[in-house]
Amino acid sequence: MKQSVAVFCSANEKINPEYFLRTQELGEYMGKNGYELVFGGCNMGLMECIAKAVKQAGGHSVGVIPSKIEEHGAISEYVDEKVFVSNLSERKDVMLERSDVIIALPGGIGTLDEIFTVAAAATIGYHKKKIILYNIGGYWDKLVQTIEQMQADGFIRGNYRQYFLVANNIEDMKRLLIDCFQPTLF
């Protein structure tokens, strides 16, 4: 059975170099351990970093490419399978459909949109896929605090930990990925 992991992340280049190092480490692990990468297909920032690392480690990647990325010629050369879509909403839908687990690396508004779209769909029963926040250097700490406050104030159905998991380092990430693919979690 193919184990597909969607990765939501930044396409920006001018970010903390630590994010690139940890992303490369994750990509190498995924490629060496047979996880298929499903990502935004862009040749910039952490998107390109994860795709290159997966590919160089012998893995397979699916790039879900919106028309604007295609128009600007910004498609990663490390994409094995290209899925062309018309917009970002369609890209999120296809990435969710094509993956079993979602990882959110550090990112901006687009990454937040992606993870909250996935989480909202889970809260009302469209799927049971987990979102792993890769908390590199504490990047997601404030978001987790906000979600915990939303939970405490009664704005989240159930327990947010049904949808969000947090990995603080590569060892946490490896353990969570293995756990997410255990049949008992689904």
Helices 88-98 and 109-123 meet at what angle, rounded to 10?
A: 50
**Whose CA is closest to 103, among 155, 185, 172, 34?**
172
Read off the DSSP letter of residue 127: -
**pLDDT (tens place) for every residue of the chain, 186 residues total:** 689 999 999 999 999 999 999 999 999 999 999 999 999 999 999 999 999 999 999 999 999 999 988 888 889 999 999 999 999 999 999 999 999 999 999 999 999 999 999 999 998 889 999 999 999 999 999 999 999 999 999 998 788 888 899 999 999 999 999 999 886 544
Give me Rg for the CA atoms of the chain: 15
